[in-house]
Amino acid sequence: MTTHRIPDLWEAEPGYLNTASYGLPPRPAWVALQAALEDWRAGRTAWEDWAAAGERARHSFARLVGAQTADVAVGSQVSALVGVVAAALPDGARVVVPEIEFASNLFPYLVHADRGVEVVTVPTGRLLDAIDERTTAVAYSAVQSATGEVTDMAAVAAAAAAYGAVTVVDATQAVGWLPVAAVHADVLVCAAYKWLMSPRGSAFLVIDPELAERVRPLAAGWYAGEDVHASYYGPPLRLAKDARRFDVSPGWFDWVGTAATLAVVESIGVPAAHAHDVALANRFRAGLGLPPGDSAIVSVDWPAAAQRLAAAGIRAATRAGSLRASFHLYTTESDVDAAVAALTG
Ligand SMILES: Cc1ncc(COP(=O)(O)O)c(C=O)c1O
């Protein structure tokens, strides 16, 4: 186990196995958020201080996924960011998507059916086989929300590139525990409120700069301006030249929490998180008699799982009819053992 490398920064009550639904804030993020709320209540500071947190978070996220900061936009929800990209698909585009894909990286394509955009859904394990000369885009999650399946981003990128297709990767269930390299995606989107343990309402878009030339910044407002503070009023259109033209104005308090959490994630390091989380997931799997896996999310059909865990005060989820348990930095061996005991006892 690698538990000793993880600092004691969380106040999780025992039995929280549901980071795939929402992550819990480390103390520095909680403290920063309370301070910002106090400042708000008293009118003690200028909003620019809160917005600056979004810039710190943008830099952190770029480092976490190995991207250029200039290629990172900040937004609020995955679906809204994907929607801007989906609108750039040509009429008649064919998009290949895993059949169990979370809707935020699926519905944005389906809404273009009237202009001939076709969505082909396939089992996650058959994604590579489904990519061919007819494919315009491959949209998938680096880690599946319902099942925890990990997709080989490099392999999908190579298959898509062989046919000139673009990849749109939802990394929401991955960044924070799984090493993710943005270079394997033409577009990478990530909501920060799960494995990046941030308040709900902060998300990132990383976009290849050449592809970005073909994407209309449909959500552009003042915050997408080249000089934000000279973009409040009136024409002409004067958008940022880099990915900031896809920014939406920051939900201040979300970003205060997000910046502080990402600093913690960077200091711990994703490899340590990966080792810790997967070890606990595999301890859980072993307790249920399952072979080891490669994911921080465990999905298993287990009789009366929801009732048994609820009776023991353990918080997990049911997705696609199966128990979904997820393990992150604040999860302990005793959390895992209590869950195993509740299920097998
Ligand atoms: C893979 C994945 N992407 C995105 C989201 C959230 O999407 P949005 O930010 O559009 O609400 C979830 C939430 O469960 C998810 O599991």
pLDDT digits over 234-287, tens only?
Answer: 999 999 999 999 999 999 999 999 999 999 999 999 999 999 999 999 999 999
When pLDDT is averaged across residues 144-158 and rounded to a whole number, the result is: 98
Q: What is the pLDDT of residue 267?
A: 97
- Ligand 1 centre to CA of 191 (Å) is 7
Cα 43 from Cα 314, distance rounded (Å): 40
Site of tokens 């799982």 = 305
Q: What is the pLDDT of residue 1?
A: 45
Q: What is the pLDDT of residue 3?
A: 46
pTM of the full predicted structure? 0.97
- Ligand 1 centre to CA of 59 (Å) is 22
> Quick check: CB of 104 below 6 Å from ligand 1?
yes
**Residue 196 and residue 260 in contact, taking contact as beta carbons nearer than 8 Å:** no
> Quick check: CB of 144 below 6 Å from ligand 1?
no
Q: What is the pLDDT of residue 2?
A: 44
Chain-centre distance for alpha carbon 317: 18
Residues 47-84 have pLDDT tens digits of 999 999 999 999 999 999 999 999 999 999 999 999 99
> Quick check: CB of 172 below 6 Å from ligand 1?
yes
Q: What is the pLDDT of residue 119?
A: 98
When pLDDT is averaged across residues 26-45 and rounded to a whole number, the result is: 98
Q: Is the pLDDT of residue 290 over 50?
A: yes
Closest Cα to atom 11 of ligand 1: 77
Q: What is the pLDDT of residue 117?
A: 98
pLDDT band at 320 (very low <50, low <70, confident <90, very high): confident
DSSP string, 20-80: TT-PPPPHHHHHHHHHHHHHHHHT-S-HHHHHHHHHHHHHHHHHHHT--GGGEEEES-HHH
Cα 229 from Cα 223, distance rounded (Å): 8
Q: What ranges in the chain are assigned the alpha helix state H? A: 27-42, 47-65, 78-86, 107-110, 127-130, 153-162, 209-212, 252-268, 270-287, 305-311, 333-344
> Quick check: CB of 168 below 6 Å from ligand 1?
no
- Ligand 1 centre to CA of 84 (Å) is 16
pLDDT band at 5 (very low <50, low <70, confident <90, very high): confident
**96 against 6, higher pLDDT:** 96
Atom of ligand 1 nearest to the CA of 82: 10
Q: Is the pLDDT of residue 4 over 70?
A: no
End-to-end Cα distance, the chain: 25
Cα 72 from Cα 131, distance rounded (Å): 27
SS3 3: helix
| Residue to mutate, 21, 85, 151, 173, ligand 1, most ligand atoms under 8 Å from C-beta | 173
Q: Is the pLDDT of residue 106 over 70?
A: yes
When pLDDT is averaged across residues 39-44 and rounded to a whole number, the result is: 97
- Ligand 1 centre to CA of 142 (Å) is 12
When pLDDT is averaged across residues 189-218 and rounded to a whole number, the result is: 98
> Quick check: CB of 198 below 6 Å from ligand 1?
no
